[in-house]
Amino acid sequence: MEITVIASSSIDEGIGSWDLKTGTEQLQFKPCASPAHGLTAVGEKFLASSQLSARNTSGSIFYWSWTKPQAEVKSYPVEPIKALAANNEGTYLVGGGISGDIYLWEVATGKLLKKWHGHYRSVTCLVFSGDDSLLVSGSQDGSIRVWSLIRLFDDFQRQQGNTLYEHNFNEHTMSVTDIVIDYGGCNAVIISSSEDRTSKVWSLSRGKLLKNIIFPSVINALALDPGGCVFYAGARDSKIYIGAINATSEYGTQVLGSVSEKGKAITCLAYCADGNLLISGSEDGVVCVWDPKSLRHVRTLIHAKGSRKGPVNNIQIVRKTIVANSNKTQVSWKSRGALIPPPLEKYGRPVEDTMDGIVTVDPPPFSDVPVYSSFLSADLIDEQVKELQQQGSAATEMEMERLKLEYKRSLQMNEQWQKNYENLLQVVMEEEQIGGTN
């Protein structure tokens, strides 16, 4: 297993890559000017990054193979994409637009499987749950929403007019800067950070706020310790704070260290469980490797060289399986002679033209009333939904809890109607008795 650190910048410094164990610099991928949360490794297959123009008026998504420094495939979505995420297997790519729309593509074919309006302002971050059954999105409007892939493609839910999200968290008062989720399945916790100088811990199963932690500075980035007891928060005051998830105080933090003597902001974080290392990126183009247990700085990786140093705004840990024959790792699109899958569709295909349709969902402004959609799901989505249902994913557990709650409510409603009927019957009988005596 080869573990690589990749980092990108919002200024066209390219994507740097290093061997995590040795610090040796590897291939640099160009060009790349990605926004925060706009860089992702698509499984072990290739790199993908969203690109924004200087004024955010246009954008694109680039693909790089691991062996070539130049972008090999360029896609041009209907709007600029900020946040970009892929599921663990690299089957789907999800992008969050500046309009608040969320797009879900099938990687192998480039088909736009689904589009829905997730937030009222731009999507700032996207993250999949450990079992890929849930998608969590954060927005510039301060909201965080949890989406179940099962529910997103459930025609029954559409007909019932239910909201497509599982949870809607609105306690942040400013833009959401980062989101992490642990591996606890349905009982997982979500940790979010915001420009309001807080990090919040949410219960996925209960859909409620568990803890609010206040920091002395704006938190740009989060990383979760695999033990699940603490998390790391990279701040604009150049410090990395350690937050205790179970702390009783709203100020239950300590400082890991400062990356730069010049006080440059921490812009991104990533945690590598292999070796228990924390990797940070900063505004001055420096990538640092930390041992969080000993609170010790291990090594420094320079992303930008020369006088023009752009901020490191994305860091990813990539695990690549080393095989003797690279042909063994070929996937479906490689069988057609291509090293990289085709470009992403700009628009979804009309339902009448294909069995793979697009969903467009627009929530009513400033309300949580039910939303509606129409679609024909792709075969690949259907297969994964069945898989998730069979293996007992977090989304399935949440769906079961929802059905149990609806069943309980229906019983209560039935009891109430029965009481109403009995009361009405009694009133009618009393009136008949009074009429008979008269």
* pLDDT, tens digit, 9 for 90 and up, residues 280-291: 999 888 899 999
How buried is 290 (Cβ within 10 angstroms: 0-12 exposed, 13-18 middle, 19+ buried)?
A: buried
At residue 384, the 3 state secondary structure works out as helix
Torsions phi, psi for 9 (to 5 deg) = -135, 160
pLDDT higher than threshold 90 for residue 193: yes
Strand locations in 273-427, DSSP E? 277-282, 286-291, 296-302, 312-320
Q: For residue 286, what are the contacts with CB-CB under 8 A and spacing of at least 6?
A: 259, 260, 264, 300, 301, 302, 303, 312
> Per-residue b/e over 4-43, b at no fewer than 16 CB within 10 Å?
bbbbbbbeebbbbbbebeeeeeeeebeebbbbbbbbbbbb
Q: What is the mean pLDDT of residues 143-157?
A: 83
| Position with higher pLDDT, 340 vs 36 | 36
pLDDT higher than threshold 70 for residue 394: no
Which two structure tokens, joined as six digits, stand for 68? 């070539």
| Position with higher pLDDT, 109 vs 230 | 109
State how far the Cα of 365 lies from the Cα of 368, in Å rounded to an integer: 9
Q: For residue 243, what pLDDT is reported? A: 86
Where does the pLDDT of residue 432 fall: very low under 50, low under 70, confident under 90, or very high at 90 and above? confident
Asked if residues 271 and 240 have their Cβ atoms less than 8 Å apart, the reply is no
Asked if residues 177 and 219 have their Cβ atoms less than 8 Å apart, the reply is yes
Angle between helices 394-437 and 379-391 (to 10 degrees): 80
At residue 5, the 3 state secondary structure works out as strand
Arch. (CATH architecture) of 2-320: 7 Propeller (2.130)
Mean model confidence pLDDT for the chain: 80
Where does the pLDDT of residue 400 fall: very low under 50, low under 70, confident under 90, or very high at 90 and above? low
